[in-house]
Structure 1
Amino acid sequence: MNSEKFDGAMRTDKRVGFIGLGLMGGGMAMNILKKHGQLNVCDPDEVAVARLVALGATRMASARELAAACDIVLLSLPDPSISLAIALGPDGLAEHLAPKSVVIGMSTDGIDAVRQLHAAFQARGISFIDCPVGKGPPAAAAGDLRLFASGDQATCTSLNWLLSMMGSTIDYCGPVGSGQAIKLANNLLSCGYGALISEAYAMVKQAGADLNIFCDALPQTAANSWPLQNVFIAKAFQGDFTPYFRLSAAHKDYKLAIAMADALGTPSRTAKTVLEYYTLATQAGHGARDFGALALVNNPELLRE
């Protein structure tokens, strides 16, 4: 993978739109509004829209209305089916964006979906860049994301002025779908740790050992990981499941990663075992909680509501 600084110049004349103002999209959109000075926004969450409108953004009632008012549209949506509907549906972006417009997909949608988006937009003379992101909501709010851009490299370069408003590092990953591969590999690992952490915690608890030592010692050993410290010890083991990255999103990403591995013919045996945990946690009603709620499968007493 090639990481590089792009040199796209600032384009203050470009009309920019953002669809999807959730935990990640809200922070990204806020940074564009602050740094670009103009932004059209669309989301069914009226509170999220109002927050940006109060700072100068323009509310758009639909993807169709937004498309007619924009040269560049960014998407940050929770599921590939939603991305495809908004982009390619009868009142979607593809039907109403002008030729030579640009769509930037910031969502984790999987390789198949972004290739479908790319082909459909390309047929209409619209550029599509696949650009999922690394890090979480605090980094989105701070403009400190890592961006995994893929697609036509010249187009990616020309968009640096906009991408750099949201992230401190931009990786050019290769053809469309390459960004999805990197992002899904990241989530396969970071979300996968949770299943083992949950089992390890249950084992120590059942043995009657001191759980405080478990939480204090493991971050100082080779067992340490970002999820262990920041998702499980700092939050889940304290009964805090406030969403940083929702379990439903982790479940979706795990299914996308396994589908990609199966399509490529690469192993996914361990991932499929982890997926069982996410399925159980989702079926138990924890989808809207942080993905640390995976610990509740083996340690239901942690839920103190």
Structure 2
Amino acid sequence: MKIGFIGTGVMGSRMAQRLLGHGFQVAVHNRTFQKVQPLIKNGAIYSETVSELSNQCEIICTCLSMPQDVMTVYMSKQGIIDNAKPGTICIDFTSVGADTSKIINRMAGAKEISYLDCPVSGGPEGAESGTLTIMAGGGEMAFQKVKPVLDVLGDTIEYMGPSGSGSIAKLINQYLVSVHSLAASEAMVTGAAYGLDSEQLLKVLKTSYGDSKILRRHMEQYVLPRHFTPGGAVKYVHKDVLLANQLLQEAGLTQFTGRMAEKAFQKAVEKELSEQDMSAVIKILEEETGTVVKLKD
């Protein structure tokens, strides 16, 4: 079985390496050749174009940045749908809107190609260790066929339903990520503004009902040590909360906290924090209050 992997950035490179490490034959393609070089050294086969890779692989995985990237890779003349063989199964790990997933699924189906929206959660560390949460939407038969591949990449793998279901589940998760990020930032900045020791406050919150994975992740790994090299960048959370807020609006909600999170991440983008870790959203609140959440001097 030959697996193609398109998009070998922070997440994709680690996922492709997991597949190589478990004995799969893997062909890789990325717009930036430098990003595939470590994988080639570890046994991956390099494909110069998407069309070349698509024509040679039985399973094609994509892990891209933005919805427009997914549309281009799948639907352009040199893309997957026009060049993959009938019977190919595509697994898209990108976080996109349900409409994007459904459009690609419909176009792929017309060419007898299966398309699964399988966004993931767990960050680079989860991709590296094979402990990702994978939310799958699309044809259940195709899902069952590629389940052994997904088992290498994640330890919580759920078939959510028809096309778009995986994308919806992921956006709901990202909605919580964005809202929790803002709430944790507001809480810690307020504590610092009133003179509370940030480490001590975090210790208290971690043993109280205010605890959360986001609070621990952001404060322990990024904010307190003032280290904002991204695990998940501001620009991606901003993109996801925009899409998630559309879901909530379409579901009939008129007022929801995600709108505040959207504004906060938009402001972080405007402050040129796009490439920093999502936890850097705290910086706009620190600027407002004139205080910094950090370790003791």
Q: Tell whether the structures are fold-level matches, with TM greater than 0.5.
A: yes
Among residues 198, 219, 226, which one is paired with 1:232 in the alignment?
219
Q: Which residue of 1 aligns with 2:115?
A: 128
TM-score (norm: length of structure 1): 0.91
* Greater RCO, 1 or 2 (C-alpha within 8 Å, sep 6+): 1
Partner deviation per Cα, 1:260-295 (whole Å, 9 max, x = no partner): 222332345210111000000011011111000010
Farther off after superposition, 266-275 or 52-61: 266-275
Distance 1:95 1:278 in 2: 37
Matched, 1:62 2:30: no
Question: 1:126 corresponds to which letter in structure 2?
Answer: I
State the shift of 1:71 in Å.
1.5
Decide which of 216, 225, 231 is 1:244's aligned counterpart.
231
Residues 27-62 of structure 1: CA deviation (Å, up to 9, x unaligned): 111111121331100012323200000011011111
For 1:1-305, what aligned pairs fall within 5 Å after superposition? 14-267=1-254, 269-300=256-287, 302=292
Counterpart Cα distance in 2 of 1:218 and 1:163: 35
Normalised by the length of structure 2, the TM-score is 0.94
Q: 1:212 to 1:34 in 2, by over 3 A?
A: closer
The answer to whether the 8 Å contact 1:296/1:303 transfers is no
Q: Report the 3-state secondary structure (helix = DSSP H, G, I; strand = E; otherwise coil) of the residue aligned with 1:40.
A: strand
Distance change >3 Å, CA 159–CA 294, structure 1 → 2: same
Percent same amino acid at aligned positions?
26
CA displacement, residues 130-166 of structure 1 (integer Å, 9 cap, x when unaligned): 1111211111011111211111111111111211111
SS in 1 for 2:159: strand
**CA displacement, residues 47-98 of structure 1 (integer Å, 9 cap, x when unaligned):** 3200000011011111111111111100101111000001001211111111
Report how far residue 210 of structure 1 moved. Answer: 2.5
Q: Assess if the C-alpha contact under 8 Å between 1:236 and 1:302 holds in 2.
A: no
Question: In the alignment, residue 194 of structure 1 is paired with which amino acid?
Answer: S
Alpha carbons 1:194, 1:228 under 8 Å: kept: yes
- Say if 1:67 and 1:98 are closer, same or farther in 2 by CA, change over 3 A: same
How large is the Cα RMSD of the aligned pairs? 1.6
**Contact 2:61/2:90 (CA < 8 Å) preserved in 1?**
yes
The more displaced of 29-38 and 94-103 is 29-38
Check conservation: 1:41, 1:57, Cα contact below 8 A: yes
Number of matched pairs? 291
Is there any run of 5+ residues in structure 1 with no aligned partner, and where? 1-13
Q: Is the 8 A contact 2:189 2:293 kept in 1?
A: no
Does the residue aligned with 1:103 lie in a helix, a strand or coil?
Answer: strand
CA shift in 2, pair 1:238/1:37, >3 Å? same
Q: Structure 2 unaligned runs (5+)?
A: none
CA contact (8 A) 1:237 1:302 kept: no
Q: Offset at 1:302? A: 4.8
**SS of residue in 2 equivalent to 1:73:** strand
Contact 2:192 2:293 in 1 (8 A): no
